[in-house]
Structure 1
Amino acid sequence: MKHFFQKVPPIFKNFYFLSSLFFLIWMLFFDSNDLITQMRLSNKQSELESAKEFYESKIVEVKNDREALLNNDELLEKLAREKYLMKKESEDIYIIEEE
């Protein structure tokens, strides 16, 4: 056993080196904020940021559509007829479904 400790380099006998090594291993693998958790959180953050950009662009698109509808009566009537199947009292609507 004594012969084994003589072959170990002196740096591995150093208390500060061993403490630092233990601390590093603990922080990388066992702590609640370990490396794997940080990587998962980083990926989740990127996904959420891309979703945020998508929804912000959709909000701008919907606001522009809303402004166009509120300022253009012909476009509003077209939307009401096509999407909600509204009609004037003197009109008949025929819906043709393709098979």
Structure 2
Amino acid sequence: MQGRDHILRIIGKIRKVLVDFYCVVTFFFIIWMYFLDDQNICAQYNVYKQCKKLEREHIYYTTHIQKIKEETKALLQEEERLEQLAREKYYMKKKQEDLYVIIRD
């Protein structure tokens, strides 16, 4: 009986040491990965956020470019729209017309 109790105590001590060892190693691993490593979790999160931001910008600019291409195509095909753009944006006029620009505050 005493031999068995002695063996159980030894196994309990070994288990306690191993559990404490794994807890300490896990704690230091987490600290290392979160703060000390070059590719730590904070840096990875910042890279992830930047990547998502760039993807959103890419989608925005591709749709914007497509819209501008369609407008350019429409302007080149229709003389009336081209004249309207020239009058509204660049204040162009015909020779016999007077142009008044009203600036609203």
Give the structure-2-normalised TM-score: 0.71
The C-alpha deviation readout for 1:30-64, integer Å capped at 9, x for no partner, is 11100011011101111111111111110001000
- Which blocks of at least 5 consecutive residues in structure 2 are unaligned? 1-12
| Number of positions where the alignment pairs a residue of Structure 1 with one of Structure 2 | 91
The C-alpha deviation readout for 1:46-90, integer Å capped at 9, x for no partner, is 111111111111000100000000111100000000110001112
Kindly provide the amino acid, as one letter, of the partner of residue 79 in structure 1.
L
Partner residue, 2:52: 46
**Per-residue deviation at 1:92?**
1.1
Partner residue, 1:82: 88
- What are the within-5 Å matches in structure 2 for residues 1-99 of structure 1? 9-11=16-18, 17=22, 21=26, 22-23=28-29, 25-98=31-104
Larger Rg: 2
Looking at secondary structure, tell me which structure has more helix per residue.
2
- Which blocks of at least 5 consecutive residues in structure 1 are unaligned? 1-5
RMSD value, Cα:
2.5
Describe the SS at the equivalent of 1:9: helix
Give the structure-1-normalised TM-score: 0.75
